[in-house]
Amino acid sequence: MAIIFNEKARTITLQTKNTSYQMKIGNLDYLLHLYYGPAIPDEDMNYQVMQYDRGFSGNPYESRNARTFSLDAQPQEFSTQQQGDFRTASIEVVNSDGSYSYHGKAVDYRIREGKYQLEQLPCVFACEADTAHTLEVTLCDAVSNIKVILLYGVFEEADVITRAVKVVNGGDRPIHLKKIMSVCLDFLNGADMDLLSLPGRYGQERQVERQPMTHHIHTISSVRGSSSHQQNPFVVLCDREASEDYGRCYGFSLMYSGNFLAEAELDQYDQLRLVMGIHPKQFFYELKPQEAFEGPEVVMAFSSHGFTGLSHLYHDFYRTNLCRSKFVTEVQRPVLINSWEAAFMDFDDVKLVEIARAAKNMGVDLLVMDDGWFGKRDDDNSGLGDWFVNEDKIKCGLHRLVEQINDLGMKFGIWFEPEMVSEDSDLYRAHPDWAMQIPGRHAVRSRNQMALDMSRREVQDYLIERINAILDDANIFYVKWDINRSLADIWSNDLPAEKQGEVYHRYILGLYRVMDAIILTHPDILFEGCSGGGGRYDPAMLHYYPQYWVSDNNNPIDRLKLHYGTSFVYPTCTMGAHISDSGRFVPLETKAVVAMCGTFGYELDATHLSKKEQKICKEQSDRFRKYYHITFKGDFYRLTNPFRMGNMTAWEHVTKDKSEALLSVVVTNLTCNGPQEYVRAKGLDPQALYSVNGSKELRSGSALMNAGLPVSREVPEYSAFQFHLVKKEKSHSKAHKATKKE
Ligand code: DGJ
């Protein structure tokens, strides 16, 4: 059983294959957190928690004269408010009498089979093969009768634990939530821990930063209305010595696409608290009597095998338990060509068919018509919201255009930016109140567009009707769903003044409703997410889209860092990666090797390529398909760190049974007369013999992993190599004998 309630000790232990997580209904019924880490038996871990009379750390009234029990020092599952715990809080509630206080004590718990679901928010699910269990622990404040229900999902085999939170107003007057965190995790000693996060910017998303925990609150957050280019809702707490292969690493991945907050606080006693959830900025949520609020899910994983171990847990789990699209497992992803960098908005039906015809020679399966096909859209100042085909450009009509592409034996894809509206659009002229704009003030312009008020039902319904109509009008195989600005002017004309603090979150709920109604109702369409590149690359989005555009930056050398950072949590099969004209001095082969780290495709004017270049691309597309079972289903290893000054960047995909691997290397910095470089493989069977790129001379997995392969120096700058390793013999010693006999 994955969840054990020990009646005597009043502990609740969550067990996965390699980890344990323990809480205890402890002193005065406070829910204490006792342990998260490598698996331990069902034993009471309370022995670790010491109690002292700490000056200026108060004691709950009920502890009477005992001065040693302070919530300021006790490890908690969900911290209280104004009860003497001065660390960052799990909850801030304004009670109906205007007081700011929450004093939750454990009153109930339930254990059941299967994984809980959330009503309005996307979350991970249990597959048939999973043994998943749910724990619900209810905390209640005896004065306000506000209940906080802590939800835990335990995935035994996957080594994953999820957490979410529900607040129910059990009182008889309205209350307001100002802060509600989905997870609170207290470590008894965190002085030697580091915090790793994925900050970035437009064109340079998810770079990797690591900082030692010091005595203040380390904040990773977004207040841009989306999970953002600038930060990602993923953090790791790890040992100071942790590396790719060694050390304890705790991952926290938030399934939410709006404003988020992760705080890691090293307190005065070197205890560490991590909280994560919706950002409290402009968050003021009313709950009427009996109303409930649910917070998004956090997916937690622990590995004692460094960042690689942690990444593998997330990659495996997110490849199976996050997105139900058939393109995740059943149907192979196509090689696509996208019109954006080929033509921007300057195209018509004839041009698209020409690109498709040329791309057909390149082995491309799918033509994607990007921005510019609808309304009045010759540049990015107009047209958003008018989701009607512009027949001045698509003269033959969408249906006929798709037929022409299909006749070439190719599939057709289309671009949308549903959440946005241009001031110069029929939609805005008809419904100016649908755009977010603070009354009496001018809206902030960003790419000259405004955000639609996604919290409004009629806006949601308009988008659902319009987009579904387009998707159902022609044989559409693929959709790219974009969003190209951060949110400002947070205001809904549909809500009274006192509810404007709900708009940020209601926007996201509205967005998920629209996505449910468009994406889940079109299971045969492959959806790719995009936000000016990778500005909303988060697990909630990956619940809907099997793939996400990593970045508008297609420079293959910059992509090395982009792919490296993204891979800390997201599987490489989710990473949208194309070959484009960007990186003029980088060989075409290198561009292909880099794009093969992700979903692979082209983003250039195929009609400008020579027959010879088209032929090279055909070989690349075929190679992508040939290695698909390795790159989409195997384990991913970061072999070098592109953020460190080195001469090459290398990565590797290895099939689960270790029978094949694809090791990729890009030479980034050739120094004159410099040292010989070697690339060492990982994850192979050390005893087995492998052929390297079809060579008859076999190398042991052990040699390939410990001595490595020499990388030629006699190559032009930015050259790339792929080493395809195929296991030929099961046992090294057996094969060795056989070779001798020969
Ligand atoms: C931003 C995307 O990242 C690009 O790929 C492209 O689709 C443009 N938007 C279109 O406006």
Given the structure tokens 């969408």, which residue do they identify?
A: 398
205 close to ligand 1 (CB < 6 Angstrom): no
Same structural domain for residues 310 and 388? no
Same structural domain for residues 363 and 252? no
In this prediction, residues 120-139 reach a mean pLDDT of 95
Of the pLDDT bands very low, low, confident and very high (cuts 50, 70, 90), residue 733 is low
Q: Are 187 and 269 within 8 A, CB to CB?
A: no
* CATH number, domain containing residue 648: 2.60.40.1180
> Is pLDDT above 50 for 740?
no
- Please state, in angstroms and as integers, the Cα–Cα distance from residue 597 to each residue in 445, 576, 594, 668, following that order: 36, 9, 6, 16
340 close to ligand 1 (CB < 6 Angstrom): yes
Q: How many domains does the chain have?
A: 3
**SS3 label, residue 173:** coil
Say if 327 falls within a structural domain.
no
Say if 329 falls within a structural domain.
no
**SS3 label, residue 204:** strand
Say if 331 falls within a structural domain.
no
In this prediction, residues 288-298 reach a mean pLDDT of 98
Same structural domain for residues 137 and 277? yes
Separation between Cα atoms, residue 523 and residue 214, nearest integer Å: 48
Question: Which ligand 1 atom sits closest to the C-alpha of 531?
Answer: 3
Residue 571 alpha carbon to ligand 1 centre in Å = 22
Separation between Cα atoms, residue 424 and residue 449, nearest integer Å: 9
Both tokens of 562, joined, read: 């982009």
Residue 297 alpha carbon to ligand 1 centre in Å = 29
Residue 344 alpha carbon to ligand 1 centre in Å = 9
482 close to ligand 1 (CB < 6 Angstrom): yes
- Choose one of 597, 617, 632: the last residue of a domain: 632
Separation between Cα atoms, residue 612 and residue 56, nearest integer Å: 76
Residues 6+ positions from 309 with CB-CB distance below 8 Å: 245, 249, 303
Same structural domain for residues 193 and 296? yes
Same structural domain for residues 278 and 361? no
677 close to ligand 1 (CB < 6 Angstrom): no
Whole-number pLDDT of residue 672:
83
Please report, rounded to a whole number, the percentage of residues in the chain having pLDDT higher than 70: 98
* CATH number, domain containing residue 287: 2.70.98.60
Of the pLDDT bands very low, low, confident and very high (cuts 50, 70, 90), residue 1 is low
Same structural domain for residues 267 and 393? no
534 close to ligand 1 (CB < 6 Angstrom): no
Say if 325 falls within a structural domain.
no
User: Do the strands 478-481 and 411-416 form a parallel or antiparallel pair, or are they unpaired?
Assistant: parallel
Mutational test site, ligand 1, from 374, 446, 484, 545, max ligand atoms within 8 Å of CB: 484
Say if 698 falls within a structural domain.
yes
Nearest CA to ligand 1 atom 11: 371
Residue 417 alpha carbon to ligand 1 centre in Å = 9
- Choose one of 320, 354, 379: the last residue of a domain: 320
Say if 328 falls within a structural domain.
no
Given the structure tokens 């599987």, which residue do they identify?
A: 571
614, amino acid identity: Q
As a whole number, the mean pLDDT across the chain is: 96
- Choose one of 603, 632, 661: the last residue of a domain: 632
Nearest CA to ligand 1 atom 6: 340
Separation between Cα atoms, residue 17 and residue 38, nearest integer Å: 9
> Is pLDDT above 60 for 206?
yes
Same structural domain for residues 288 and 341? no
Same structural domain for residues 649 and 608? no
- Please state, in angstroms and as integers, the Cα–Cα distance from residue 549 to each residue in 497, 576, 584, following that order: 37, 4, 21
Same structural domain for residues 545 and 685? no
> Is pLDDT above 50 for 735?
no
For residue range 165-186, what is the model confidence (pLDDT) as tens digits? Answer: 999 999 999 999 999 999 999 9
For residue range 320-333, what is the model confidence (pLDDT) as tens digits? Answer: 999 999 999 899 99
In 10 A of CB 451, how many CB atoms? Answer: 25
Same structural domain for residues 294 and 401? no
Whole-number pLDDT of residue 738:
46
Residues labelled as active-site residues: 538, 613
**SS3 label, residue 622:** helix
479 close to ligand 1 (CB < 6 Angstrom): no
529 close to ligand 1 (CB < 6 Angstrom): no
**678 HSE (CA, 13 A, CB side):** 9
Say if 104 falls within a structural domain.
yes
Of the pLDDT bands very low, low, confident and very high (cuts 50, 70, 90), residue 670 is confident
Say if 31 falls within a structural domain.
yes
For residue range 567-593, what is the model confidence (pLDDT) as tens digits? Answer: 999 999 999 999 999 998 999 999 999
In 10 A of CB 314, how many CB atoms? Answer: 24
> Is pLDDT above 90 for 429?
yes
Residues 6+ positions from 321 with CB-CB distance below 8 Å: 124, 125, 126, 127, 130, 155, 158, 160
> Is pLDDT above 90 for 396?
yes
Same structural domain for residues 614 and 652? no
Whole-number pLDDT of residue 715:
87
Same structural domain for residues 668 and 573? no
Both tokens of 669, joined, read: 């910095």
Of the pLDDT bands very low, low, confident and very high (cuts 50, 70, 90), residue 131 is confident
Among 60-64, 143-147, 331-335, 647-651, which stretch is predicted with the lowest mean pLDDT? Answer: 60-64
In this prediction, residues 398-425 reach a mean pLDDT of 98
Mutational test site, ligand 1, from 552, 553, 562, 575, max ligand atoms within 8 Å of CB: 552
List the one residue out of 13, 1, 42, 46 whose CA is nearest residue 27.
46
Residues 6+ positions from 242 with CB-CB distance below 8 Å: 194, 248, 249, 306, 307
User: Residue 626 is part of which domain span?
Assistant: 336-632
Whole-number pLDDT of residue 742:
37
Q: Are 261 and 279 within 8 A, CB to CB?
A: yes
In this prediction, residues 93-119 reach a mean pLDDT of 97
Separation between Cα atoms, residue 436 and residue 511, nearest integer Å: 14
3-state DSSP percent of the chain in helix, strand and coil, to 5: 25, 30, 45
Residue 688 alpha carbon to ligand 1 centre in Å = 46
Question: Which ligand 1 atom sits closest to the C-alpha of 552?
Answer: 3
Mutational test site, ligand 1, from 373, 530, 541, 553, max ligand atoms within 8 Å of CB: 530
**SS3 label, residue 33:** strand
Of the pLDDT bands very low, low, confident and very high (cuts 50, 70, 90), residue 673 is confident
Given the structure tokens 């037929």, which residue do they identify?
A: 403
Please report, rounded to a whole number, the percentage of residues in the chain having pLDDT higher than 90: 94
In 10 A of CB 468, how many CB atoms? Answer: 14
Of the pLDDT bands very low, low, confident and very high (cuts 50, 70, 90), residue 741 is very low
